[in-house]
């Protein structure tokens, strides 16, 4: 599984419709790149990640149910992110997935996506 949540979250960015992080080109990056330096730092990524979670969490109860996640994730992806299998994606499960997406996307390990 690659970049599942990043891609899902990007669907929430105003200009984003990237299908993979490899396609995360300037427009998408600019939407998340708060200080416009052309790089996506971990802080910027985390801020965007929090924003995306809140956007998806429609009833604001701090977890994503299937219905909330459905527009962004298919059932298989949902189950992959729901690591304890309780049919809810908690913020911790979400953060863990985002963390691993970031690490995977940060191929040179310099702590920012460029």
Separation between Cα atoms, residue 32 and residue 16, nearest integer Å: 10
CB of residue 103 to Ca ion, shortest distance in Å: 18
Separation between Cα atoms, residue 15 and residue 110, nearest integer Å: 26
Q: 11 vs 65, which CB is nearer to Ca ion? A: 65
Q: 3 vs 94, which CB is nearer to Ca ion? A: 94
CB of residue 19 to Ca ion, shortest distance in Å: 23
CA of 94: how far to CAs of 16, 22, 25, 83, 88, in Å?
A: 20, 21, 24, 9, 10
Binding site for Ca ion (CB under 5 A): 33, 35, 37, 39, 57, 59, 61, 82, 84, 86, 88
């Amino acid at each position: 599984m690659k970049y599942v949540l990043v891609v899902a979250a990007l669907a929430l960015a105003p200009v984003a419709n990237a299908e993979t992080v490899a396609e995360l080109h300037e427009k998408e990056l600019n939407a998340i790149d708060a200080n416009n330096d052309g790089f996506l730092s971990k802080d910027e990524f985390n801020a965007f990640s929090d924003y995306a979670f809140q956007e998806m969490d429609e009833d604001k109860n701090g977890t994503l149910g299937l219905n909330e996640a459905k527009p962004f994730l298919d059932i298989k992806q949902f189950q992959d992110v729901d690591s304890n299998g309780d049919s809810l994606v908690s913020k911790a499960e979400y953060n863990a997935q985002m963390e691993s997406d970031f690490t995977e996307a940060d191929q040179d390990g310099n702590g920012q996506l460029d």
